[in-house]
Chain A
């Protein structure tokens, strides 16, 4: 099911040249190997085959960077933490494909890119590359703002694999492609961002790379800059080059990619349709279940001895920090959670859906008329909502040994974001007595696309009254 007018549907037939139509090339450059029809592509070997690669970084916990330290403790093996960034990753990329690699921060995307680019060696497995590859981890690697276009192009082109003479020969073509002929002598620090983008992409395209590795860093910058990068992507994809785009921008993946790969903690979660991968990625971001699945898979891997520390923030639903817990212990909060409208225990809720805060309480003493409450705090620690039974009729007597569940249901208009929940149990007679209070015991993620800076976003109406001469509606005279 494709929406009308979607980019993929509207795309024209692919051309196998490295220039856009209408470019005024003066220096002919040998075209990339021809791929006349898609069906013939099967006969060509894949552009990239990644066959079970693994990469582990050894991070010394005690830095022994100086000879003195070595000399003083010659036999002490410095403690090294193994950080496994890639675990048996396998995939392949077809020639002419626009392939996306997505994953959360710390999932191994950047390591993957750098091993593909040949910057890092791999510990295990093999990478086959069929065709000239050009890496684009940064806009114009080695560009020096104080040098003119010529020197920067020479350096950049040679870095990307051209010989010196070849780079010089193509300089004019590069400038022409970038439409910067009139600015050849200008130091590039005086270039606009758009000119810089064009120059960098022009070099990359003019080195005849058949395979381009592009990092997400290009997506930084303002919207206009991004649009320029995207325009260049469009040009590249039309040129028929194989592109591997590493990103966590799902819009770019859905817009450009033919296929995508989802990485999580260094393993391949899925390879396939970008729409599907995009959804899996969002799932991965907002649900700990999906992450735990991957973690379980990794744990089942016997040759992986590493106890990988959890990456990123704590998963929603886990007890974050229980050191602030306090209370007499006459009654105890044994569990606390969030339920959605259908009574399912959840860690994330879509914006605007009904929400139930729940806790399970065990009484160790006989207690009369206790107060139950669960505060909702923002990530910054501001209390948003503090429902309790202070104004409700007394709850009566609870016997020692009893376990009860408490539920607070409400229509949630919490704005999307992360919230922390503090369940508490107390009694307010002569003096306030805390039985148990567990600050920020667990958290809740509200998902959604509502644009607001507020923490609440209840339904509202907005009206503007009719224009009138009546002085009472105007500012006080």
Chain B
């Protein structure tokens, strides 16, 4: 061991007051929603979602089966109720896949938004310990829900084949429709995840809202059945809500042409401006609100 002090290699500390502040570039800001690079944020959200997805199926032999069990169970019960007990579904062409498609799309929306509510708290250990674009958190929840949706679409297709539905080009319409639904889910997820940090009763409020939405949005009873019973007005009002509009169009595209398009159900094009405006409005509000809250989320948790 050397007993002689070597020449100090460390740089001498300069005088603090002599530092030229203007030469330093911009000061750092607190955590932001998007970060410097939106692509990095997307990549991070994707990684978070894929590792969540892997964890879900880790250690279960029948992982995929359990994934399907819940929506299929609900589907079985409802199918029984509406074809045997109430017999409402019997007037509708291919009621079984109609119902299942509704359940699957609704499950996606419920998972994405319901999961987003407490997402920040669930990832507290990350949020409080590292500066990363906060938007990745709600986005990862929506992406995970999209993975689940892809799995859940398999029984929909299988049911369509079993029931003898025609394979049509319009099936491809499902992709832009799911994209639109995802945009809606992201908008809501941003608002809910940021609001929950401040107000914990967002959770029960949203649960109740989702439940109401399940019954009101036409998942169980397609619009043509409502139209037959109550006339055009209710049908038109339903087409003002983004989820119902997307669902209706998806049924027209996937199930059978006898299901009216969203436009037919709405009666006039201007009615469809409303769900588009709601979606874009929520997206703008959600983005603004999330951006505003992002820097303080860590200290409020």
Contact = CB atoms under 8 A, between A and B. Distances in A.
Interface in A117-132: 117-122, 126-130
A371 interface: no
A127 B29 CA distance: 8
B212 interface: no
B39 A13 contact: no
B47 A42 contact: no
A154 B47 contact: yes
Interface residues of A, number: 63
Interface string A97-108: 110000000000
Contacts of B14: 42, 46, 92, 94
Interface residues of B, number: 55
A96 B24 contact: no
Nearest to B10: A258
A107 B48 CA distance: 35
A137 interface: yes
Nearest to B23: A45
A10 B2 CA distance: 6
A77 interface: no
Contact of A91 (B16, B46, B130): B16
B1 interface: yes
Interface string A59-73: 000000111101000
B10 A163 contact: no
Interface stretch (B121-129, B236-244, B269-277): B121-129
Contacts of A97: 10-11, 13
Interface in A78-98: 90-92, 94-98
A147 B51 contact: yes
Interface stretch (B80-88, B165-173, B254-262, B293-301): B293-301
Contacts of B91: none
Given A10-B1, A119-B128, A144-B55, A127 B37 contact: no
Interface in B39-74: 39-40, 43-44, 46-48, 50-51, 54-55, 58-59
Interface in A33-49: 38, 41-42, 45-46, 49
B129 A119 contact: yes
A141 interface: yes
B6 A158 contact: no
B28 A119 contact: no
Given A49-B24, A90-B16, A126-B27, A151 B51 contact: yes
Contacts of B132: 158-159
A92 B12 CA distance: 12
B31 A155 contact: no
Contacts of B59: 146
A8 B295 CA distance: 40
B14 to A, nearest CB: 6
Contacts of A141: 125-126, 129-130
Contacts of B3: 4-5, 9
Nearest to A154: B47
B5 A9 contact: yes
A120 B131 CA distance: 9
Given A135-B131, A141-B129, A151-B51, A11 B12 contact: no
A159 B130 contact: yes
Contacts of B230: none
Contacts of B4: 9
A45 B18 CA distance: 11
B199 A57 contact: no
Query: Does more than half of chain B's interface fall in helix, strand or loop, or is it mixed?
Result: loop
A2 interface: yes
A228 interface: no
B229 interface: no
Given A146-B55, A146-B58, A95 B47 contact: no
Residue from B9, B30, B48, B295 with most neighbouring chain A CB atoms (10 Å)? B9
A78 B252 CA distance: 53
B11 A42 contact: yes
A200 to B, nearest CB: 13
Given A65-B200, A154-B47, A118 B19 contact: no
Contacts of A137: 129-130
A138 interface: yes
B21 A118 contact: no
Interface string B98-142: 000000000000000000000000000110111110000000000
B13 A94 contact: yes
A65 to B, nearest CB: 5
B25 A128 contact: yes
Nearest to B42: A164
B133 to A, nearest CB: 10
Contacts of A5: 1-3
A135 B126 CA distance: 12
A155 B11 contact: no
Residue from B1, B58, B130, B198 with most neighbouring chain A CB atoms (10 Å)? B130
Contacts of B299: 57, 120
A94 B11 contact: yes
Contact of A158 (B26, B43, B55, B201): B43
A51 interface: yes
Contacts of A11: 6, 9
Contacts of B24: 45-46, 49, 128, 130
Contacts of A68: 201
A407 interface: no
28 contacts: A8-B5, A10-B1, A13-B9, A38-B9, A38-B10, A41-B11, A42-B11, A45-B19, A46-B14, A65-B198, A65-B199, A65-B200, A66-B201, A67-B205, A90-B16, A92-B14, A92-B19, A95-B11, A120-B298, A128-B27, A130-B24, A135-B130, A141-B125, A144-B51, A146-B55, A151-B51, A158-B47, A164-B44
Interface of B: 1-6, 8-14, 16, 19, 21, 23-31, 37, 39-40, 43-44, 46-48, 50-51, 54-55, 58-59, 125-126, 128-132, 198-201, 205, 295-296, 298-299
Given A11-B9, A138-B125, 19 more contacts: A9-B3, A9-B6, A11-B6, A66-B199, A68-B201, A94-B11, A94-B14, A118-B131, A119-B30, A119-B131, A120-B298, A121-B31, A135-B131, A138-B129, A151-B47, A158-B47, A158-B132, A159-B130, A163-B40
- Shortest 10 CB-CB distances between A and B: which pairs? A121-B30, A164-B43, A41-B11, A118-B131, A126-B27, A4-B3, A128-B24, A5-B1, A258-B10, A137-B129
